[in-house]
């Protein structure tokens, strides 16, 4: 049984790797249309790569975080935007699977054969009322909903209020994307193909069974009693979310190194005392530094993935101090990826500024990822340092 599962996971990683050439060929189109091309979406679904975190009960592969990291890295090596969308949509499915009840799962997966999730935790504004049997969202606004145009179900954060309108908790809801309005407002510098548009929800009723406490979920108090014997659905929620945001960066950094090394043999040198750049001492240092930083990033990402899997397998939910450490591993890895890409841009030289140079897209995509506060190297390392020094983390929701 174990060998069969490993074979399946290896096959999925190889499928992801096989996508790299075609994703690179479609990268310009992906940016231009500001979403993933339908051909790519269709192929990803047919390959099963959109269903890696779906339970076997509902037709998925139920793969662990280590395999997820391998798959997302490969897809992102082909196209940053595509890797980002697959990373977040699949991770949303993990969150839905572990956070919600069997009744909710039956409703979702019974509604269609084509289920893909997208969502946003923080609404910028919302008016919500507690009513009989659930909540009425009078109006809510959630920006940055990655994969919005490809999703059929949504996953959103909102305040839970009592009948007097007082906030009593932070909640998570799920609803069909047919009940939301998707703005056409994703006009950005990086990750252009992620269709991370803003979402508006107006006058929509959310039944109680499609509402859970985010406070309880981040501490591992899940409503998925029917999945308690499946280790994957005991994965620490917030570190897993951070992995979905950070891991695409590893693929982007590897893509930058691929591109640099591919073009290097034929590049002539100027004012370096050699004929070709691959003969220059500076190039040797730059290539080695970038490669080692990418390797360092991978070690930290895999350390986090393996630890999440080990905790989930043990049945013990990861405690908060260790969750803080996982965020630091992820933030440190993201910083190493940034430094590698910066080195490779400098090593590329003035060719980098030429219009349409593919290194530009990698740099822009990574810069968009790097600004996401969830994987901030500064905040995550600071919080880990506070815990090491006997203080509490400054970030509440970990």
Return mean pLDDT, the chain. 96
Answer yes or no: do 349 and 208 share one domain: no
Q: Would residue 158 count as lying in a domain? A: yes
CATH classification of the domain holding 88: 1.10.540.10
**What's the rounded Cα separation, in Å, for the pair 121 and 133?**
23
Of 230, 384, 393, whose CA–CA distance to 304 is shortest?
384
Token pair 């977040």 in the structure block, residue:
88
Of 303, 31, 17, 314, whose CA–CA distance to 186 is shortest?
31
Answer yes or no: do 188 and 264 share one domain: no
CATH classification of the domain holding 161: 2.40.110.10
Answer yes or no: do 262 and 369 share one domain: yes
**How sure is the predictor about 368, in pLDDT bands with cuts at 50, 70 and 90?**
very high
Cα torsion for 46, 114, 174, 79, to the nearest 10°? 30
Question: Which range, of 153-162, 317-326, 388-397, averages the lowest pLDDT?
Answer: 388-397
Answer yes or no: do 204 and 126 share one domain: yes
**What number is the average pLDDT over the span 169-198?**
98
Reported pTM: 0.96
Q: Would residue 352 count as lying in a domain? A: yes
Answer yes or no: do 135 and 49 share one domain: no
Q: Give yes or no for residue 2 having a pLDDT over 60.
A: no
**What number is the average pLDDT over the span 301-330?**
97
**What's the rounded Cα separation, in Å, for the pair 76 and 193?**
12
Q: Give yes or no for residue 61 having a pLDDT over 70.
A: yes
Token pair 């897993």 in the structure block, residue:
240
Q: Would residue 222 count as lying in a domain? A: no
Query: 174 by DSSP, 3-state: which?
Result: strand
Beta bridge partners, 362, equal none
Q: Would residue 9 count as lying in a domain? A: yes
**What's the rounded Cα separation, in Å, for the pair 121 and 168?**
17
Q: Would residue 395 count as lying in a domain? A: no
Domain termination site, one of 86, 114, 142: 114
Which tokens hold the place of 216? 């309880």
Yes or no: say if 236 and 317 are a contact pair by the CB < 8 Å rule. yes
Answer yes or no: do 172 and 320 share one domain: no
Answer yes or no: do 49 and 132 share one domain: no
**What's the rounded Cα separation, in Å, for the pair 312 and 87?**
20
Token pair 């986090």 in the structure block, residue:
304
Domain termination site, one of 114, 147, 182: 114
In which domain, by residue range, is 56 found? Answer: 2-114
Q: Would residue 154 count as lying in a domain? A: yes
Answer yes or no: do 258 and 277 share one domain: yes
Domain termination site, one of 193, 217, 241: 217
Which tokens hold the place of 197? 């548009």
CATH classification of the domain holding 365: 1.20.140.10
pLDDT of residue 97: 98
How many other CB atoms sit within 10 Å of the CB of residue 37?
18
Question: Which range, of 72-81, 268-277, 281-290, 308-317, averages the lowest pLDDT?
Answer: 268-277
**What's the rounded Cα separation, in Å, for the pair 97 and 233?**
7
Q: Would residue 173 count as lying in a domain? A: yes
Q: Would residue 172 count as lying in a domain? A: yes
Of 71, 78, 76, whose CA–CA distance to 24 is shortest?
78
pLDDT of residue 1: 47
- CA distances, 68 to each of 168, 192, 326 (Å): 35, 23, 16
Which tokens hold the place of 366? 């990574």
Yes or no: say if 249 and 366 are a contact pair by the CB < 8 Å rule. yes
Per-residue pLDDT tens digits for 217-248: 999 999 999 999 999 999 999 999 999 999 99
Answer yes or no: do 358 and 260 share one domain: yes
Answer yes or no: do 42 and 83 share one domain: yes
Answer yes or no: do 48 and 152 share one domain: no
Answer yes or no: do 208 and 236 share one domain: no
**117-131 burial code (b ≥16 CB/10 A, e <16):** bbbbbebeebebebe
Domain count, the chain: 3
């Amino acid at each position: 049984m174990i060998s069969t599962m490993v074979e399946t996971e290896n096959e999925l990683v190889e499928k992801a790797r096989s996508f790299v050439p075609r994703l690179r060929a479609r990268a310009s189109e992906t940016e231009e249309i500001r979403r993933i091309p339908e051909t790519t979406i269709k192929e990803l679904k047919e390959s099963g790569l959109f269903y890696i975190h779906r339970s076997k009960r509902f037709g998925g592969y139920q793969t662990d975080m280590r395999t997820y990291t391998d798959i997302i890295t490969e897809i992102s090596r082909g196209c940053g935007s595509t890797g980002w969308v697959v990373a977040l949509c699949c991770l949303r499915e993990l969150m839905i699977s572990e956070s919600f009840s069997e009744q909710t799962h039956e409703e979702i997966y019974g509604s269609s054969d084509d289920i893909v999730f997208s969502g946003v935790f923080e609404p910028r504004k919302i008016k919500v009322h507690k009513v009989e049997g659930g909540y009425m969202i009078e109006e809510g606004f959630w920006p940055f909903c990655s994969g919005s145009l490809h999703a059929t179900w949504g996953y959103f954060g909102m305040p839970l209020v009592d009948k007097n309108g007082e906030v009593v908790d932070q909640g998570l809801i799920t609803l069909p994307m047919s009940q939301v309005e998707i703005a056409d407002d994703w006009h950005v510098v990086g990750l252009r193909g992620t269709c991370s548009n803003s979402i508006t929800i107006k006058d929509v009723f959310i039944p109680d069974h499609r509402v859970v406490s985010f406070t309880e979920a981040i501490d591992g108090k899940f409503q998925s009693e029917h999945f308690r014997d499946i280790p994957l659905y005991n994965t620490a929620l917030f570190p897993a979310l951070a992995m979905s945001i950070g891991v695409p960066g590893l693929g982007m950094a590897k893509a930058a190194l691929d591109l640099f090394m591919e073009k290097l043999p034929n590049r002539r040198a100027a004012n370096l005392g050699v004929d070709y750049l691959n003969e220059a001492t500076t190039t040797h240092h730059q290539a080695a530094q970038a490669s080692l930083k990418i390797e360092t990033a991978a070690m930290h990402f895999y350390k986090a993935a393996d630890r999440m899997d080990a905790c989930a397998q043990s049945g013990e939910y990861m405690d908060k101090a260790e969750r803080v450490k996982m965020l630091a591993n992820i933030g440190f890895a993201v910083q190493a990826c940034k430094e590698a890409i910066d080195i490779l841009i400098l090593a590329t030289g003035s060719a980098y500024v030429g219009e349409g140079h593919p290194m530009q897209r990698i740099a822009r995509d990574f810069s968009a990822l790097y600004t996401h506060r969830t994987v901030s190297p500064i905040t995550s390392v600071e919080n880990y340092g506070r815990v090491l020094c006997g203080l509490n983390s400054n970030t509440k929701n970990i």
